[in-house]
Amino acid sequence: MSNTSHEVAQGPHHNSGAASTALSAHSIDKKFPGVLANDSVDFDVRAGEVHTLLGENGAGKSTLAAVLCGLYQPDAGYLMRNGKRINLSSPRAGLQHGIAMVHQHFRLVERFTVSENVILGSRDLPFKLNRREINEKVAAVAESYGLPIDPDATVGDLSVGQRQRVEIVKALYQGAEILLLDEPTAVLVPSEVEKLFENVHAMTAAGKSIVFISHKLGEVVEISDRVTVLRNGRVTGHVSGRGTTDTKELARLMVGRDIELNAQRATHAIGHEVLQIRNLSLSIDDVAVLTDISFNVHAGEMVGVAGVAGNGQRELADTIAGLISPTSGSVGISGAMTTDCGPVQAREVGLAYVPEDRLGMGLVPSMSILDNLLLTRDRKLVVDRVSVRPEASRLIEQFEIKANGPDHLARKLSGGNAQKVLLARELSGGRSATKLLVVCSPTRGLDVGAIETVRRLLNDARSAGQAILLISEDLDEVLSLSDRVLVLYRGSVVHETPGETAQLSQVGAAMAGLAAEGRS
Amino acid sequence: MNENIWILMSADAIAIATTLILAALGALFTERSGVLNLGIEGILLTSAISSFLAADASGSIWLGLVVGTVIGAVLASIHALLSVVFRANQIVAGLALVIFGTGLANFLGKPAEGKSITTVIKPLSFGPLSDIPVIGPIVFGQDIITYFAIALAIVASRYLFSTRPGLELRATGDDPATVDAQGLSVARIRIRYTMVGGALVGLGGSWLMLAQSAGWHQAATTNGLGWIALALVVFAGWRPMRIIFGAVLFGFTLQLPFTLQAEQITFIPSAFLEMLPYLATLIALIALSRPGSRNLLGAPRALGTPFVRDER
């Protein structure tokens, strides 16, 4: 263990309670090209407990989980199951030792029924399948852990929460004693999270071990019996006891320094109008999506647009970016009318756009960071990589992007780093200096460290005099960053308030459509 | 109107359907595993001439069938090597196999030109059943391979939908990552079924040669039946039972022009009728090569996509 790591408690319990230790990993090393994903990591989980692996994206927790379930083989170190050394050559070998992984991206065949998915891969089944018998057994396993599910339902028709339940039932059906849950709450709504935690308790009560992988501090404290914190592939802390840990300490172990999630509004001067939207309306297939929207964004000002998803946010952003032509009304950027003129012209007068869909609309996943940067640079016939390369290297450093260099492929970046590349490209200006930045859900799906960086970058851009339109479903984010807050409800701006005095209750009510007036 | 000619036509249509059923089942098994093998026509031709040469040299029709079947599996293994092991573009690899197979067949066929085999596969005899008017020659006048093909389609349907390996096969074609996560080898499953598929196509080609034409006519021996088989899989929605009906339908359409000519019925130009199966094939192949329309038709989700395990 390195000198820089923080030891809150003793390292993993090698000696104490060896009988109850279900699975342990010792001095695990795992290298990937250019990264040491796991560096001498120790970990153990006992029967009937929830042991959490906490860390930022890229800290090595998913790699460790992959080693624990047999998906990866460690370069050094070994695993022990019930005190005996084991060697897992594949996930199947892991299953044979009762270790199963519930992946973040579900491994389910959508066209198959629940039963078919559950039994897929079970070797002890007879050649010919008896569906009735299988359905009964699947239902029985599900019932016993409070995971009701219809064995004949087609998985493609199920909600995300239900699919996760199918994954868990599948692991239990295959005889798993140790379940590794990889970011299980990332895809769930709060009520589903509650249900999942009930299931987790039912499983631990039955003597199963749960390895819970997460970067969300609140839920980690709620569910865990023990927490192991990873940073840069190393164990930086090992915290025991439920509810005794405060989130600040965990956050510090995770990021390596004190962090401030509530980025303060920087003091800055607000300048002239950069974005002018006048009576903007948009109908798609005769359905009104945006209705009579007018507002301005000034230089050095961040305007936040709050609202429940699907109230016209995406269309508003796309209209400003020149991707959609409005039915009526106008969009002006820096005094130039950009209505109907298309994205190229809009960018020429100083628009920068960070869409919600980073790897779909924002970056080309199969291209390098350098080539992604070039997309918004000068449009010459011959691509000039040589002259942009130094800038790319500088941006990678400036924006703290974890990558092997300008040639790193965009699809191999973590979510946070992809977002930083996108911000770096948009903020650094393309064919003209950036005057207006439109960002949509900039921190969605990112871990704590990346969220902090992205918010700081946005603040820096505002301080540098850029006008920013922040469109986000994360109400806390909108409230803590924006100088002014607009609430979009069914395509109209139903509420407007200065950011500093914005009331959570009022904005929340407006988002729910309860405020007809209130627009100043 | 000569009734016999129509009965004869029906019997012939079912006979052609035999090759179609076997080749389409071969394509179906291959595609259900997620591998698109457009090289069916090349395999059919090479297997046909191989079986002819083997049967001619040995004097045993059955040895011919075996050789043709094995050659089919061997050719399919080339496609499996390219598309599963080397992850090549499957459409390109398949087309290459057509060109290779056609060329190889023509080369091997040089000494066979003008020759014919003395013994062909004979229809089974069901005694009095075969003498029933109309139904007799059509239903009870076929040879063993025809009955085998139909039985195989029924067994294939049971295999796909109610056995454990069938479940794994379908899962591999739809969602190989899930199969991989279960510790099953996607590559092994895909190679296995590509080769099994090739063997079935090979059997179809051999049978066409030894029971039907009994003489080598270069590419005209198969006359595009491999392509029609590919289309048949699309029209059957990747379900074996539907292939039987589709194959009989295509068989009739292919036979109809000859019968109409013989009957001197001319209100539909026979060239137009002859064109129909190929037109349908063209449409199906276009649909097959576009991912969007492919999914709409119910194709295996991962059809034509090489599997690469997600690594960082």
Residues A273-287: pLDDT tens digits? 899 999 999 988 778
Taking the CA atoms of B240, B242, B246 and B247 in sequence, report the sign of the dihedral they define: positive
The beta-carbon neighbor of A109 closest among B174, B184, B311 is B174
Partner-chain contact A111 B174, CB within 8 Å? yes
Residue B312 contacts A, CB cutoff 8 Å: yes
What percentage of chain A carries pLDDT values higher than 70? 89
Pick B31 or B14 by higher pLDDT. Answer: B31
Residue B181 contacts A, CB cutoff 8 Å: yes
Question: Which tokens hold the place of A322?
Answer: 């020149």
Residues contacting B119, CB < 8 A, separation 6+: B59, B61
Residue B114 contacts A, CB cutoff 8 Å: no
Q: If you compute the radius of gyration of chain B from its CA atoms, what whole number of angstroms results?
A: 20
Partner-chain contact B312 A128, CB within 8 Å? no
- Mean local confidence (pLDDT), A180-205: 85
Chain A and chain B share a number of CB contacts under 8 A equal to 69
Collect all residues of chain B within an 8 Å Cβ-Cβ radius of residue A96.
Answer: none
Per-residue pLDDT tens digits for A30-72: 988 767 889 999 999 999 999 999 887 678 888 899 999 988 8
- Mean local confidence (pLDDT), B22-38: 97
Collect all residues of chain B within an 8 Å Cβ-Cβ radius of residue A128.
Answer: 162-164
- Mean local confidence (pLDDT), A432-444: 86
Per-residue pLDDT tens digits for A467-488: 999 998 777 788 888 889 999 8
How many whole angstroms separate alpha carbon A456 and alpha carbon B176? 41
- Mean local confidence (pLDDT), A100-114: 89
Residue A331 distance to chain B (closest CA, Å): 36
Query: Given pLDDT bands bounded at 50, 70 and 90, which one contains residue A306?
Result: confident
Q: Which of residues 157-176 of B touch A (CB under 8 A)?
A: 162-165, 167-168, 170-171, 174-175
- Would you list the domain boundaries of chain B? 3-125+135-296
Nearest CA in chain B to A103: B181
Query: Given pLDDT bands bounded at 50, 70 and 90, which one contains residue B213?
Result: low
The beta-carbon neighbor of A129 closest among B164, B178, B179 is B164
Residue A220 distance to chain B (closest CA, Å): 26
- Mean local confidence (pLDDT), A493-513: 79
Collect all residues of chain A within an 8 Å Cβ-Cβ radius of residue B179.
Answer: 120-121
Query: Given pLDDT bands bounded at 50, 70 and 90, which one contains residue A241?
Result: low
Q: Which of residues 183-202 of B touch A (CB under 8 A)?
A: 183-184
Nearest CA in chain B to A90: B183
Q: Tell me the β-bridge partners of A99.
A: A178
Partner-chain contact A129 B181, CB within 8 Å? no
- Mean local confidence (pLDDT), A154-164: 87
The conformation of residue A482, written as its DSSP 8-state character, comes to -
Tell me, which fold does domain B3-125+135-296 have in CATH? ABC transporter involved in vitamin B12 uptake, BtuC (1.10.3470)
Collect all residues of chain A within an 8 Å Cβ-Cβ radius of residue B294.
Answer: none
What's residue A19's pLDDT? 40
Collect all residues of chain A within an 8 Å Cβ-Cβ radius of residue B188.
Answer: none
Partner-chain contact A120 B301, CB within 8 Å? no
Collect all residues of chain B within an 8 Å Cβ-Cβ radius of residue A97.
Answer: none
Collect all residues of chain A within an 8 Å Cβ-Cβ radius of residue B301.
Answer: 110-111
- Mean local confidence (pLDDT), A130-141: 92
Scored b (16 or more CB within 10 A) or e, B201-230 reads: bbbbbbbbbbbbbbebeeeebbbebbbbbb
How many whole angstroms separate alpha carbon B311 and alpha carbon B180? 13
Residues contacting A297, CB < 8 A, separation 6+: A273, A274, A275, A303, A436, A467, A468, A469
Per-residue pLDDT tens digits for A192-202: 788 899 999 99
- Would you list the domain boundaries of chain A? 21-109+176-255, 273-359+432-511
Pick B114 or B202 by higher pLDDT. Answer: B202
Nearest CA in chain A to B298: A111
Query: Given pLDDT bands bounded at 50, 70 and 90, which one contains residue A18?
Result: very low
Nearest CA in chain A to B299: A111
Partner-chain contact A37 B162, CB within 8 Å? no
What's residue B24's pLDDT? 97
How many whole angstroms separate alpha carbon A138 and alpha carbon A148? 10
Collect all residues of chain B within an 8 Å Cβ-Cβ radius of residue A92.
Answer: 182-184
A519 pLDDT above the threshold of 80? no
Q: Tell me the β-bridge partners of A229.
A: A54, A237
The conformation of residue A407, written as its DSSP 8-state character, comes to T
Partner-chain contact A109 B178, CB within 8 Å? yes
Which range (A112-126, B12-26, B39-53, B264-278) has the least confidence? B264-278
Nearest CA in chain B to A69: B181
Nearest CA in chain A to B173: A109
Closest CA to A56 of A516, A519, A445: A445
Owner of token pair 């342990």 = A24
The conformation of residue A113, written as its DSSP 8-state character, comes to B
Partner-chain contact B163 A95, CB within 8 Å? no
Nearest CA in chain A to B178: A107
The beta-carbon neighbor of B181 closest among A91, A116, A122 is A91
Q: Is A288 exposed, middle or buried (0-12, 13-18, 19+ CB in 10 A)?
A: middle
What's residue B289's pLDDT? 77
Residue B310 distance to chain A (closest CA, Å): 10
Query: Given pLDDT bands bounded at 50, 70 and 90, which one contains residue A14?
Result: very low
**Strand-pair category, A99-102 with A273-284:** unpaired
Averaged pLDDT of chain A: 83
Residue A296 distance to chain B (closest CA, Å): 42
Q: Is A67 exposed, middle or buried (0-12, 13-18, 19+ CB in 10 A)?
A: buried
What's residue B2's pLDDT? 66
Collect all residues of chain A within an 8 Å Cβ-Cβ radius of residue B170.
Answer: 109, 111-112
Pick A311 or B148 by higher pLDDT. Answer: B148
B169 pLDDT above the threshold of 80? yes
Nearest CA in chain A to B167: A120
The beta-carbon neighbor of B181 closest among A35, A103, A128 is A103
A10 pLDDT above the threshold of 60? no
Query: Given pLDDT bands bounded at 50, 70 and 90, which one contains residue A9?
Result: very low
Residue B308 contacts A, CB cutoff 8 Å: no
A505 pLDDT above the threshold of 80? no
Nearest CA in chain A to B184: A121
A23 pLDDT above the threshold of 70? yes
- Mean local confidence (pLDDT), B157-176: 94
What's residue A489's pLDDT? 86
What's residue B227's pLDDT? 94
Per-residue pLDDT tens digits for B55-104: 989 988 899 999 999 999 999 999 999 999 999 999 999 999 999 999 99
Partner-chain contact B182 A37, CB within 8 Å? no
| Residue of A109, A122, A135, A167 to mutate when probing chain B, most B C-beta within 10 A | A109
Tell me, which fold does domain A273-359+432-511 have in CATH? Rossmann fold (3.40.50)
What's residue B173's pLDDT? 95
How many whole angstroms separate alpha carbon A468 and alpha carbon A301? 6
What percentage of chain B carries pLDDT values higher than 70? 97
Cβ pair A441, A453 in contact under 8 A: no
Partner-chain contact B171 A120, CB within 8 Å? yes
Partner-chain contact A107 B178, CB within 8 Å? yes
A228 pLDDT above the threshold of 50? yes
Partner-chain contact B164 A125, CB within 8 Å? yes
- Mean local confidence (pLDDT), A293-321: 88
Residue A94 distance to chain B (closest CA, Å): 9
Collect all residues of chain B within an 8 Å Cβ-Cβ radius of residue A120.
Answer: 167-168, 171, 178-179, 182
Collect all residues of chain B within an 8 Å Cβ-Cβ radius of residue A37.
Answer: 312
Cβ pair B281, B230 in contact under 8 A: yes
How many whole angstroms separate alpha carbon A427 and alpha carbon A425? 6
The beta-carbon neighbor of A95 closest among B167, B174, B183 is B183
Partner-chain contact B175 A37, CB within 8 Å? no
Tell me, which fold does domain A21-109+176-255 have in CATH? Rossmann fold (3.40.50)
Q: Give the phi and the psi of residue A237 in degrees, each rounded to 5.
A: -175, 155
- Mean local confidence (pLDDT), A111-132: 88
The beta-carbon neighbor of B163 closest among A70, A122, A128 is A128
**What are the distances in angstroms from CA A237 to CA A8, A22, A49, A58, A142?**
6, 21, 18, 17, 35
Collect all residues of chain B within an 8 Å Cβ-Cβ radius of residue A173.
Answer: none
